[in-house]
Structure 1
Amino acid sequence: MSQPLDLNQLAQNIRQWGKELGFQQVGITDTDLRASEPALQAWLDKQYHGEMAWMARHGMMRARPHELLPGTLRVISVRMNYLPANAAFASTLKNTGLGYISRYALGRDYHKLLRNRLKRLGEIIQQHCASLNFRPFVDSAPLLERPLAEKAGLGWTGKHSLILSRDAGSFFFLGELLIDLPLPVDTPTEENCGRCTACITTCPTGAIVEPYVVDARRCISYLTIELEGAIPVELRPLMGNRIYGCDDCQLICPWNRFSQLTQEEDFSPRKLLHAPPLLELFKWSEEKFLTVTQGSPIRRIGHLRWLRNIAVALGNAPWDEAILLALQERRGEHPLLDEHIDWAIARQIARRSDNAITLQPPKKQRLIRAVEKGLPRDA
C-alpha cells in the first residue's frame, strides 16, 4: 500500500527544487482572485489598456486561473532576477545621444527561459505524485500574475503597480505554474510603500494617474512597445532618449536599493544594445535589426516601430547637423516613420535656431525670432 502524499513536505521540496532551477523565490497560492476583479474592471472601463484589445477581450478570465486549466487548485508563483551588473541607468539616460533600453530587454527574451524552467519544475513534481496536471505561464495567457505573486508572498503591489520585495526590490520576472494539488498556501506580505509617492512624481509622462493605477496610454513602455501607430505628439518630448521601455518608476523606488543582480548569463546585456549611439541605431537596415535582436524581446516590435522610437529620441536630442542629415536620409520609407521624422526635424531646426540666437546680441536675437515667426523685419 502506497504512502499518502505529504503535501507540506512536497511544498517545501517544491521551493527547494525551484531554487535549484534558478528561481530566487517560490510561493504558493490558491486561485481565488475575486478581490482583484473590481479594480480590473474599472481599469478596463476607463480604457487605460489603450490598444491592448486582448486585455478587454479576455475580461475577468484573467482573475480566474481555474478557467485556463480546469481542475487547477493552486498556483506556484516564482520570481527570477534580471538586473545585470553595470546596468548604467543614469549614465545612459543623461547622455541624450544614446538610446535607453529597459534593462529587462538587454539580454535574451525571458519568456522561453522561464517557461522551460517552470515546465521542468512541473515534471519534477510529477515524478513525486501519483498524478499531476500542470501548465506553465510566462506572460502567455490572460492571467493576473501580480495579484497571484502578492498572494503567494513574493511581495506587495507598489504604487507603480509592480511587485516589490523587501529583499529584492522590483527588478525581476514573474512566472506561474498551475497545478491540481491542494498544497498549503503561503501568507501574503504586508504593503510597505507607506507615504512614498516617488514613482508617481517621477514618471516622465504622468502615467501613474493614482496610486496603484497606470494609464497605459501615457506609459512610455506602452508607447514604445505596444502602440502600433503614431506616438501622441504631446508625449514625444517627454520620452527623452527612451527607445524601448522605461525604468524610471523603478529607478526612483527606495526599495530597489536592495535589488539583487542576476546570475543568468542569458540576461547579460548585448553589446550593441547597451548604451548604443542613437545615430548608429537609426542607420540599421531591417536585416541588421533582425540579426541583432534575434532571441531578444525587442524583435517583436519590428524594424518600423524601432525606427519610429529612435526618430523621437533624435528629435529630443540637442542640435546636431549629423542628426538632421540622418533623419532626412530615411524619409520616404513609410508614412508612419515620415510623420515622426518630420516632427524630429522640426525639433532639431528649432533647437538650431535657439542655439544661434543665444550667440547673438539682444537686438539681433529679437530680429531672428521675428523672422522665424514670419513677422516683418521692422516689427
Structure 2
Amino acid sequence: MAYEKLKEEIITYSKEIGIDKIGFASAAPFSQFKARLEEQQELGYASGFEKGTIEERTEPSLLLSGAESIIAIALAYPTRMKNSPKSVKGDRRGMFCRASWGTDYHIVLNEKLEKLSEFIKDRVEGFTCRSMVDTGELSDRAVAERAGIGFSGKNTLMIAPELGSYIYLGEMITNIPFPPDQPLDDGCGDCTKCLDACPTGALVEPGRLNAQQCLAFLTQTKGFMPDEHRDKLGNLIYGFETCQVVCPYNRGIDLHFHEEFEPDPELVKPRLVDLLNISNREFKEKFGKMAGSWRGKKPIQRNAILALAHYKETSAMEDLIRLMEEDPRPVIRGTAAWAIGKIGEEDGFKKIEAAMALEESDEVIEEMKKGLAFRK
C-alpha cells in the first residue's frame, strides 16, 4: 500500500513538472524483445547505433543492482510551426524532422527524470535509480509499451492514443517494487498506411524495420547515400517521417506543451547554400542545441547537397563546384560531383571532367562518372 501511495504521488508530481504521460513497469527481463533483437541482428536489420550487448539491452538488473521496476515517461512535441520560411527557386531550404525541433530532447527528458529521482529520494531511504533517454541500453519503446504509455505501431513507433507518435520517451530503472501498469492492446488493426507509404520498403513487415534501408537512419550516416535513395529525401536533411505523417493516430495532432520544443524556423528550415559554407565552429554554435546535430555537420552537408540536386538548383552551382574541387572530404567532393551532374548544366559537366583528371580517390571518381552519366 505504501508503494501504491507513493506511485500516486509521483504521478501527481509528474504532471506538475510537465511530463505528459507516465507509466510503471516491472524490471523483469524483456525475453520476447531479446528474441526480436537476435532476429534483427541475424537479418542485418540493426542500425549499429544501438548501445550495449543484447543482454544489457534486455535485462535491467544488469544495469542497476536490485532493479525492481521501471518508470517510463513521455513528452509530446509539436508538428507545425508558425512563420515557416518558404523554399523557393534561388533560395532553397532544407528541413530538420520534427523530432529535432527545439532543444535536444535528451537534455529536456533527462532534466525531468532528474527531478523525479530527487522527488523519490526525498521520500525513500536507500533509493537508487538509473535513468536513460534514447542513448541508453534499454529500448525506450519496449519499456514504454510494458508500462502502458502506448502500443507499438506497425511503423515500429510508440503510439499513445491521446498523443499520437510525436512523443519523446525516457525511463528510470528503480529499486522500488512499484505496482505495474497494464500494457495497452494493439491499436493498428488492419491499417497498413505506414507500410504502404514507406518509400524504401524499410518496413519489411508490420513492426519490423530494416534500419539499413530507413531514410531516417540513412540521413545520419557519414558515408555516401545509396544511389537508389538519393532522390527520395526531397529537402529533408535530418530524419524522415512519412510513416508518422500518414498514421491515422497523428491526424490533427499538434501539441505545443513545452516551450523547449518550439521550433526556430530559421534553424529547422535553414538555407541549403548556407550549410555548404558553414564552419565546424559555426555549425556547433548555430545547431548544437538541436538533436539533429549529434553526428556533426558532414551528414547534414551531404544531405543539403542532395536536396539542392533534388531541386536542380542552378544558383548553387558555384558552391557545389568549389566543394567538388576543394573539399578535403571524399564524401562531400563525390556527392557534390553527382549533384552537379544531376542539375544538368553543360558547364557543370565540363567542370566534372576537369576535376576528374586531378582526382585521386577512386570513390570520388566513381561519383564523378555517375554525375557525367546525367549528360544527355
Give the TM-score range, shorter chain: 0.7 to 0.9
1:153 aligns with one of 142, 148, 151: 148
In the alignment, structure 2 segments of 5+ residues that lack a partner are 349-373
Task: Using the TM superposition, give the Cα deviation of residue 82 of structure 1 relative to its aligned residue in structure 2, in angstroms.
Answer: 1.4
Q: List per-residue Cα deviations over 1:26-45 (Å, max 9, x = no partner).
A: 10000231121111110111
CA contact (8 A) 1:81 1:171 kept: yes
CA contact (8 A) 1:83 1:261 kept: yes
> CA 1:321–1:75 in structure 2 vs 1: closer, same or farther (change >3 Å)?
same
Partner residue in 2 for 1:255? 249
CA contact (8 A) 1:25 1:80 kept: yes
CA contact (8 A) 2:27 2:60 kept: yes
Partner residue in 1 for 2:9? 13
Partner residue in 2 for 1:361? none
1:24 aligns with one of 5, 20, 23: 20
Partner residue in 2 for 1:48? 45
Task: Using the TM superposition, give the Cα deviation of residue 258 of structure 1 relative to its aligned residue in structure 2, in angstroms.
Answer: 5.5
In structure 2, distance between residues paired with 1:280 and 1:12: 50
In structure 2, distance between residues paired with 1:96 and 1:147: 42
Stretches of 4+ aligned residues off by more than 6 angstroms: 350-353
Within-5 A mapping of 1:168-183: 168-183=163-178
CA contact (8 A) 2:154 2:194 kept: yes
In structure 2, distance between residues paired with 1:258 and 1:69: 40
TM-score (norm 2): 0.86
Query: Letter of the aligned partner of 1:251 in structure 2?
Result: V
> CA 1:88–1:169 in structure 2 vs 1: closer, same or farther (change >3 Å)?
farther
Q: List per-residue Cα deviations over 1:313-354 (Å, max 9, x = no partner).
A: 11111x33212222112222121101111111111117999x
Other structure's SS at 2:142 match: helix
* Bigger radius of gyration: 1
CA contact (8 A) 2:80 2:254 kept: no
For these two proteins, the number of residue pairs brought into alignment is 348
In structure 2, distance between residues paired with 1:209 and 1:88: 37
Query: Letter of the aligned partner of 1:18 in structure 2?
Result: S
> CA 1:320–1:124 in structure 2 vs 1: closer, same or farther (change >3 Å)?
closer
Task: Using the TM superposition, give the Cα deviation of residue 92 of structure 1 relative to its aligned residue in structure 2, in angstroms.
Answer: 7.0
CA contact (8 A) 2:95 2:269 kept: yes
CA contact (8 A) 2:150 2:159 kept: yes
In the alignment, structure 1 segments of 5+ residues that lack a partner are 354-370, 374-379
Q: Which moved more, 1:333-342 or 1:288-297?
A: 288-297
CA contact (8 A) 1:92 1:100 kept: no
Task: Using the TM superposition, give the Cα deviation of residue 295 of structure 1 relative to its aligned residue in structure 2, in angstroms.
Answer: 1.8
CA contact (8 A) 1:83 1:172 kept: no
Q: List per-residue Cα deviations over 1:240-282 (Å, max 9, x = no partner).
A: 2110001111111000126351322211112322333322333
> CA 1:21–1:102 in structure 2 vs 1: closer, same or farther (change >3 Å)?
same
Within-5 A mapping of 1:161-310: 161-225=156-220, 227-257=221-251, 259-310=253-304
